[in-house]
Structure 1
């Protein structure tokens, strides 16, 4: 059984409920000898009313913290990439002339679709663990050409995303996005099943209707990101161009993936964190680990100290002085 923080939380709730029942039974037993233990009034010191809630919370916190620490991976990261890397990011990047149109970005002063697409991909690269993830980049226009194959170096990938017009490497003609995606998938057929994410970045201009074959077993996630203004058209190559959101959504549906309208904003963190090739951020893991350590220490310390404190200062002062006087006389 995999113990996630949520599973640990429900187990902690169960432990807390068990302690509540134990405290109720304990109070019933104390009530019978209250006058003998606490004097004529039959009540302990006022602060002891906090003991039961503290025990319940401490037991639940210690349980959750210890279970999270038990299931957490050790803080070990390889410094150098190895050939046993287990994840892949396959980028299918549109480099057609329409990607040079300047109508993208969140600022009032727009930038070219190609430059903004590069920034979006760089945002995804920043979330990768370079020691376990290989990156492959396929550029497409009238055809598809591999630019990078299974590289660990994110800086090399960044250098290819500077917005340069790579369309000059292709023959002129209509953009064949579907054919480009199909040829991109050929790169992933030799990879292990469920280890790769396909990232398609395009403006959707000139999307053809060629059927897409079955995805390779290696592709676990597909994310289609659209760039370019989806409302206002601009002229390129004798025709009007804008982001074709409908076609890109259809492409995403045919690939069994998710579409993100990214002309003015990066993909949200919640979307990226669900992708196979994203390594959980070390800072997030550290934060959870530190919280678990704090809960464990606080819970165990409270449970260990509350018993001696009740023995020392649990009785009313007047009764304690009288009890000590009797002991001295005896």
Structure 2
């Protein structure tokens, strides 16, 4: 063996071999039970009349010839091995697998979507055709949901009041279905931003109390207007979110009061909608989140891409070594040996 081979052999410690262990090793104490049974239990003696055979000498010679094969030793040895393998299987051998580092979800993510009357303004473009704001927001949010595998996601909508449509869940398909079924005016025509934040904080806090406090709780709020309804002031709601360790990202969504028709910019009836950017920015800053402004669908998609980077889905969990059950191997071997023993005994009798 040259020096390079010796160095390779030295670099492979014994730990690289499969590590086996017995969960219930006391089952190995049952190995000598058959011997104890033969030793302690007396042989059965027959009281029937003996048969007298006139040619006993010839019978003993036949027995000597057959003794060369030592009948019974083969089947008996197989049965002993089968018993030993059964004891090993009962001891439940396990093998430690390769170290793995499973992902660990670290966020409860609540989406809050404005369904006030202004969300039906057709000043957005999607796939080259004009659409209303809600349709554009649904398309972007659906794509955002596809990238949140592993997080618990919930959905609430708000207008005059705030309503939770989907609780925090790992079933993103149900959240997507509730999102697609949302329509303008479902929660009223006005805008209750403060109530939406308060309801989101309540749901995030309840989920944490029932399942252990998560590492991060996040609210993403999308609106195109000003707080005009509700009982809770948005800035007070931001303080409540901050005290509950909920980070709020706010997205102001809406055009500048123009609509694109065949490449021409035409003013919308009534002009653009007013958006309280100052309040939305203050909410995000108070809770450690970010404020975003989107005037079209492309900007909105870019904002959710940025949020996706700010709030990564998974982080590495603790390193684990899975335990692989190996009792099936000795159990199967014991069954095979038992069957072979029976076959061999029958062949010898024939």
TM-score (norm 2): 0.48
Tell me which of 82, 88, 111 is aligned to 2:131.
Answer: 111
2:276 matches 1:241: no
Tell me the residue number matched to 2:23: none
Tell me which of 147, 166, 185 is aligned to 1:127.
Answer: 147
Tell me which of 314, 321, 331 is aligned to 1:279.
Answer: 314
How many Å separate the matches in 1 of 2:272 and 2:160?
Answer: 18
Q: CA RMSD in A?
A: 3.3
Tell me which of 203, 207, 221 is aligned to 2:224.
Answer: 203
Q: CA deviation at 1:247?
A: 4.2
Q: Is the partner of 2:240 in helix, strand or coil?
A: coil
How many Å separate the matches in 1 of 2:195 and 2:128?
Answer: 34
1:218-229 mapped onto 2 (5 Å cutoff):
219-229=245-255
User: Does the 8 Å CA contact 1:228/1:242 hold for their aligned counterparts?
Assistant: no
User: Does the 8 Å CA contact 1:229/1:243 hold for their aligned counterparts?
Assistant: no
Query: Judging changes above 3 Å, is the alpha-carbon distance between structure 1 residues 75 and 111 closer, same or farther for their aligned structure 2 residues?
Result: farther
Tell me which of 252, 267, 290 is aligned to 2:284.
Answer: 252
Structure label with greater radius of gyration: 2
Unpaired runs of at least 5, structure 2: 1-98, 259-266, 317-350
Q: CA deviation at 1:189?
A: 1.7
Tell me the residue number matched to 1:186: 202
User: Does the 8 Å CA contact 1:193/1:218 hold for their aligned counterparts?
Assistant: no
- The superposition leaves residues 78-99 of structure 1 with CA deviations (integer Å, 9 ceiling, x where unpaired) of 9xxxxxx653111111111111
Deviates more, 1:135-144 or 1:182-191: 182-191
Q: CA deviation at 1:105?
A: 4.0
User: Does the 8 Å CA contact 1:204/1:245 hold for their aligned counterparts?
Assistant: no
Q: CA deviation at 1:224?
A: 1.3
- The superposition leaves residues 271-297 of structure 1 with CA deviations (integer Å, 9 ceiling, x where unpaired) of 422215x2369xxxxxxxxxxxxxxxx
Q: CA deviation at 1:207?
A: 5.3
Q: Is the partner of 2:255 in helix, strand or coil?
A: coil
Q: Is the partner of 1:198 in helix, strand or coil?
A: strand
How many Å separate the matches in 1 of 2:133 and 2:155?
Answer: 17
2:174 matches 1:138: no
Q: CA deviation at 1:121?
A: 1.9
Q: CA deviation at 1:227?
A: 1.7
Q: CA deviation at 1:123?
A: 2.8
How many Å separate the matches in 2 of 1:102 and 1:242?
Answer: 16
User: Does the 8 Å CA contact 2:106/2:315 hold for their aligned counterparts?
Assistant: no
How many Å separate the matches in 2 of 1:75 and 1:95?
Answer: 42
Q: CA deviation at 1:156?
A: 1.4
Tell me the residue number matched to 1:176: 192
Unpaired runs of at least 5, structure 1: 1-72, 79-84, 282-330
Higher strand share: 2
1:1-330 mapped onto 2 (5 Å cutoff):
74=100, 76=102, 86-105=106-125, 109-130=129-150, 133-162=151-180, 164-168=182-186, 170-172=187-189, 174-190=190-206, 191=208, 192=213, 194-206=215-227, 209-210=233-234, 211-212=236-237, 213-215=239-241, 219-230=245-256, 232=258, 234=268, 241-262=273-294, 263-264=296-297, 265=299, 266=301, 267=303, 269-275=305-311, 278-279=313-314
- The superposition leaves residues 192-243 of structure 1 with CA deviations (integer Å, 9 ceiling, x where unpaired) of 154211111111344575422332666453221222104547558xx96255
